[in-house]
Chain A
């Protein structure tokens, strides 16, 4: 009798737990697509940039000089408004920052750099570019254009393709990934990770 009561009790508990899980599943099916913001197709986020040239992969440190002196790739792509943007050897030193929308360090670096640009206007004679890359619609802070717009990002943007080819051509460092080039189009330095503004300013001022 006691065993029967125990079995009955266990059946009730299992039934209630199962019903609870089914209810959660139904709620997820009903609301799974509507709680998040409207999905933007990845085709609207990635581009089809043309790339000429490549650099070796980053070395073992987040500050890398293995590509120093090598000619930087030429990249022609479009920003989120469809405007053409080209990074080429035009006789001016450059800073290119690769940004991944899901990376918290990029999310910290963007407002920091933008504040500095708003306050100082940047370093005279040095052009800055950004590349949105490693796009993944399943991950947080998607799509990147919404994020960069919210941050008031004024640096010209090139949309990398779905395979992150522009990133790979520059050596594929940890995010944010900075590539600095001299006025002769050669690489001065590559840095993976956030750069304190004082250090960034010093690097830019020392590009030849």
Chain B
């Protein structure tokens, strides 16, 4: 051979070796949907994936809203608005962060256990970051333990970075190197694509960012300045 085949050689992933099992599992997924097509006629996979995409957009809107109000609040004119809006959510921040993490966790489990999409390696890393968030944020919300912020923010930040990378290699597969799709669960191939840009890692990123924004909101509402402001408001009323 003239061509240097060694140059093309790249180690295949372990998942590629498991392709037979993966293929069977995909077939089981198809069989599941065929069997439940009548029951789930009004709640098709397209419906659920669109619902998840709309939730992601809603999460983006809330995140942008929090950031925008925080920025407006840096001006003397906007500080009152910021304190009024943020103050309305005081005491709910950790609960809201828990709801976001729990929704993402349930959605992730739905995709793997009901639809039978096989999670790729990067999906698993994001799950490792997201699933514990649902548990520790619930415990922290019940116990009103605001010290959870440092742990939750660390997990959410790691998850967000992985989500960004995952979304990037879906858009630009050449960034991953290797040049081939794992037949079972390639990270570069999108299972879902709504509105031409919302894929599963984008949904995960939306959740991680909203959790971070809510944790910041919790910190802001518990900060000494905010607390003194609340005390002043209470006195004046």
A contact residues vs B (CB 8 Å cutoff):
6, 9-10, 13, 20-21, 24-25, 27-29, 31-33, 35-36, 42, 57-58, 60-63, 100, 102-106, 108, 134, 136, 138-140, 162-164, 167-168, 172-177, 189, 191-195, 199, 202-203, 205-206
Contact = CB atoms under 8 A, between A and B. Distances in A.
B180 A138 contact: no
Contacts of A175: 180-181, 183, 186
Contacts of B124: none
Contact of B3 (A28, A139, A206): A206
Given A29-B43, A176-B180, A24 B54 contact: yes
Contact of B2 (A20, A32, A42, A205): A205
Given A61-B10, A136-B26, A29 B89 contact: no
Contact of A25 (B51, B91, B191): B51
14 contacts: A10-B92, A61-B12, A63-B8, A103-B186, A104-B173, A104-B181, A105-B181, A136-B30, A139-B191, A163-B23, A168-B20, A175-B186, A189-B5, A203-B1
A29 B42 contact: yes
Nearest to A207: B1
Contacts of B58: 20, 24
A171 to B, nearest CB: 10
A109 to B, nearest CB: 9
Contacts of B47: 28-29, 32-33
Nearest to A172: B19
B2 A202 contact: yes
Nearest to A175: B181
Contacts of B30: 42, 136, 162
Nearest to B88: A9
Interface residues of B, number: 55
**When A and B form their complex, which 4 residue pairs have the shortest distance between CB atoms, in order from nearest?**
A193-B180, A32-B47, A174-B180, A28-B51
Contacts of A61: 9-12
A29 to B, nearest CB: 5
Interface string B151-195: 000000000000000000010011000111111001011111110
Contacts of B1: 189, 202-203, 206
B140 interface: no
Contacts of A105: 173, 179-181, 188
A164 B173 contact: no
A6 B12 CA distance: 57
A31 B50 contact: yes
Of B20, B26, B42, B191, most buried by chain A (CB within 10 Å of CB) is B26
B46 A32 contact: yes
A1 to B, nearest CB: 11
B51 A134 contact: no
Nearest to B61: A20
A24 B92 contact: no
Contact of A102 (B11, B42, B46, B190): B190
Given A60-B11, A61-B11, A62-B180, 17 more contacts: A21-B55, A28-B51, A32-B48, A33-B44, A58-B12, A63-B5, A103-B181, A105-B173, A105-B179, A164-B23, A172-B20, A175-B186, A176-B181, A191-B8, A192-B12, A194-B180, A203-B3
Given A20-B58, A103-B189, A139-B191, A62 B23 contact: no
